[in-house]
Every structure is written in C-alpha cells, then in structure tokens.
Structure 1
Amino acid sequence: MTTSAVTHSAADGRPSLSVVIPMYQEIDNVEPMVARVRQGLAEYRGPWELICVDDGSRDGTGERLSEVAERTGPHLRVIRLRRNFGQTAAMQAGFDAARGELIATLDGDLQNDPADIPRMVDELLERDLDLLQGWRRRRQDDLVMRKIPSRIANKLIGKVTGVALHDYGCSLKVYRAEVIKEVTLLGEMHRFIPVWVAGVTAPQRIGETEVAHQARQFGVSKYGISRTFRVVLDLIAAFFFLRFGSRPGHFFGSIGILFGLLGGLMMTHLLVVKFVLGENIGDRPLLFVAILLLVTSVQFLTTGVLSELLTRTFYASGERTHHRIRWQSDPDAAGWSEGA
C-alpha cells in the first residue's frame, strides 16, 4: 500500500478522507481529540483515516498517541518527527502520508470541532472547490492577544495577495489531495496555505464557511502577540514567491535596471556639466550618488542571474521533504474506517 491518494468510496460516492492533525506538547488533548474525531466522523458515509503528527513533543504526546493508536485501530496512523520542526513541517509530513482523495486539517487543541468536517466535505463538493477554509466567526480567544492581531493580519494578507478571506489562521480546512500535494510547505507557510493554493488553482475555487470554535480546555497556546510581526515578514516572502518564485531574476533585474537608469542619467548630466560647461564635478554629492546607484545596479543584476540559476537547480532537483520522521505507523498495515 502506498501513501498516494486512493479512490475508495462508499456506495453513495463519498470520497476517501484523510484527517491530518499536527500536535505539539498536547498530551492532555490526545485522547479527547481522537474521541472527538471518531465521534464527528461516525456518520461520514465514506472511508476515512486519521493521521496525527507529533512535532517532536517533549511531554509524552508521541508516546500517548502510539498508545491510543494501538487501542483504536489501523485507521489511526501516527507520525513522530525527530525534533520540533514547526507546524508547517508537521502538516507537510501529514500531507505526504495522506492516502485520501480529500484531506482535512485541524489543530490538536480541541478548539476546532471535527463534527464540522462532514458538512465541509459536502459543501466543498457541492461548490466544486479545491479548498474550503474555515471561518471562526465567533472566535473564543482573547480579544487583544489573538482576535485583533488576527483581524489586522487577515485584512493585510487579503489586500496584498488578492485572496480575500476572513480567517486565514483557522486550521480547519478541507482540500482536494491532488491540489494540496502540489504545494510544498516551507518555513511557517501554514498561515498562507490559501495563498499558496491560489498559485496552483484558480482563486475562485477557494471558498470559506463558518465553523464552530471553542475555548481551549487543556494545555497552553503556542502563539502570542509576537506572531503578528512574523506574519508581516512571512507575507513579504509569500508575495515575493507568488509573484516571482519561478522568475526571481525579473524582481532583482527590475530594481537593477531602475537604479542603472537613474545612475546613468546622473552621470550623463555630470558629463555635460564637466565637458560642455567646464565646471568641476569632483566634489559634487551627485557624483557619489550616481556611482553608488551604478554599483548597486550591477549587484542587483548579478543577484538576479544567480537567483535564476538557483531556482532552476531547485526545480530540477525535485526536493520536497523538509522534515525528518523518527517513526510512523506501518503504511502497509494502515486501514480505513468505513464510516456509517
């Protein structure tokens, strides 16, 4: 059995579903989370599997997941990363292992309700979408530390990227596996998954729907106000890679040409002043500015050429994996829950 998407549907045509949950330092949430997922998908009329990814937890989350998996059955698959690689890498590990035609993701802190997943699957199919994003309209979080920064970030992301959604930060999403598997997640890109998906499918095939949200019961949040600043930096990176990811030479080259033109015009003016008007230009600040612009222009142009070479090398290598797995359930022994 491979980990590629498989067509395994019930009599009514419901597609196979993989539920991916990244978890870090969530030992108290393991058993209730698994129970909630099984309860929420009890009426799902199709085969499904649950993939829990332990992102290098040190509180015993990975061991607890393995214990629960032994009692639950082969449809619960556990992946344990060698160290804490971050939520983005944990999601990527889950996507790589997922075998379903659809993939759903949610956080492991019990704030998302797995019972929303079957409805979201139906809505994604009815609206013929490639990604359905959850919208925590009645969010049960701290106003100053979570809600206000999140609203600002959502508006900023939508303005810059053109993909306008109310709640980029909601981890409860449903994807078509064939689409999300075309996206390689790096760094902390999980915040911008709809933006990256828009790079491989039409933005019109990305939708959102209201979902339930509950206050955290166990453990502590892994996010704080500092996340706002990281979002701004990640947004700049997302904008660059979406617009110029496959042609970085155009980005650096455009700046280099602009600086070169400005420097060239200044030098032309100084040449006229020197040889036509006969004035001394050696002590003019404009001369040093022109020289600086021309040197900077050459640097940007050469950077553009080097970035083009690196981009072509990267795409030629086919490298996609940016995490290291310590242990995972045997894919050959993995099974499906046949649903209702």
Structure 2
Amino acid sequence: MKTGPLALTLGDPAGVGPEIIVKAWNDLRQSGPAFVAVGDFQSLASASAAGASILRRVTAPDEAARIFPEAIPVLDLPLRAPVVAGQPSSAAAPAIIQWIETAVGLALRGAVSGVVTAPIAKAPLYEAGFRFPGHTEFLGELTAAANYDGARGPIMMLTAQDLRVTLVTVHTPLAKVASQVSVEKIVNAGLVTAQALRRDFGVFAPRVAVAGLNPHAGESGGIGREEIEIVEPAVRALRNLGVEATGPYPADTLFPAEMRSRYDAVVCLYHDQALIPVKMLDFWGGVNVTLGLPIVRTSPDHGTAFDIAGRGLARADSLVAALRMADQIAQRRAA
C-alpha cells in the first residue's frame, strides 16, 4: 500500500543531523521512502558538498514525492541565530522545538505518514526553558489530545535486528529506579508493547518477556524483593488481560540468540538494561520507536555526536533504518 512522505526533523543543527539527512537521502533517493526535511535550509546546504543544489524548498509535504529522486524537499523554517557545527547553543532551541511541533502537526493532520526525528541535545533545550526529559515525553504532550485506543503512552521501544525492547523507566537515575517501578507502570508498558507488536509489527500473537530488576531476578527474594512484590504481580495482571507475558527473567541471560527466539519483545525496567543489548547487537543500525502515540514516530538510536559534527564522518545507517521502519509501520497502520 502506498503511503505519503515522512516528515524528518533536523534535530540539533550543531550536531550530525544535517549531514546524516543528506547521506540518508543519497541512500534512499531511488528506492524511498520519500521524506520532507523540516528545518533550516541553510544548515542542510552547509552539510552537503553539493550545497543548495540538491535541496528544494517546498510549501507542502505533497510536493515531496515528485521532488525526492532529484533533491531533498525542505520545509524551510529558518534558524533565528547562526549555528556552528559542533558548538551547541540554546539560541537554536526555539527553532528545534518549532521543527518538532510542525512535523507532529503535519502527522496529526494526515499530511505526512509519520515523523522521524534527528537527534537533539537536552542541555541546550533545558537552558532555553524546555521542560521535557526528551523527545518521547514531548511527543506525548503534543499528541495528548488525540486518543489512540486508550493507550497510556508514550512508551520507548528500541529495535536491533531481531531484538525489540521497551522501557518502564527511561531517563531515570539508577538510584531512583526501584522507587519508580510499579505494577501499574509495568502493566501499561506490557499492554502498549503487545498492542504495537500486533498493529505496527504484524505479530499476530505477541509474546512479551519481562525482565527482573535485581541480579538473578532477586534469587527468590534473597537479593531483593521487587520481583516478588512488583514484577510477578504485573506479569500475572498482564496474563489476566490477555497478554502472553512471562517473567521476571534475569537480565544477564535474557538476550542471547536462543532466548530471543522465545519472545517478540522484552519489557525492561531501566535504561541501560534495554540499551546495552540493543547496541551490542547492532550499534549502527538500532532504531528508537515511540509506541502508544496516534502518529508514527521513529528516530536513530544515537545522539548528536557534536565531537564529529561537520566533519563528514557520521554514518547514516541508523537514520536510514529509522526511515524504513517508519514507512513500514505507516503502511501496516494504513492497511
């Protein structure tokens, strides 16, 4: 089924976003999926050896498909202050936020089939008054008025090859994780994960594994009681709600290939428990997917890389994978 173009936000213009967008277009210009870049035209021109010759300003996303094989369609929302590659500045924050808001608005109106976001840095945004921990929470706020099958998202999913993981807590200090993990949060993450596996990934009968919090999943209470008091009740609740959930499993034995064949996704309890196996399995090709939203949203599974920005060294593998995954999800939803 044919879907519309994707909206691709520029991310932090001082990071690698502009150059990986140019490289992703070079990889996808013949095969697609087509995208329209939402951001500063000049930043993209500066990131390309060919300059502005491979860019075209557009006024609406529906122009993108026609232009895409020959040039990058750009919905130009200019920066209000100059930016230097590798030097993040809070002066760019209003534009970065505007690009995200614009892309989400286009998706909510159906003008694009999904949103893909290049990396942002949190610190410059916080300096400008941004009050969200990251992209995921901001997208949840922007789409809160649009109901999506009662899902209480957003939930972060990371994918790499045959591994999918979702998170109960995201950017939470490790010292606070145990106090922020609850039966309700695990159940919500499991429900949203199962829903997404069916709708967005075509898994007819999802199998969801749930990781434990402590070493050896608590060793029957000998190394912590969170598994007994929180995780096991959450797994039972998920099963009562019709989700084929199992666990808690010790995280150190959950991710080898033999174990991955036994589930379709893992609900993890904290950031590194999920991201370390993903990045070990496929450091360059991982994709971040936001579940529980009324729009499709993916992003590359890496940061702004200010240390190499503007030097032409950044790889676009993860962004290309994120664009392809967003298109696949959009097609499944459209069908």
TM value normalised by structure 2: 0.30
- Greater share of residues in helix: 1
- Greater share of residues in strand: 2
TM value normalised by structure 1: 0.30
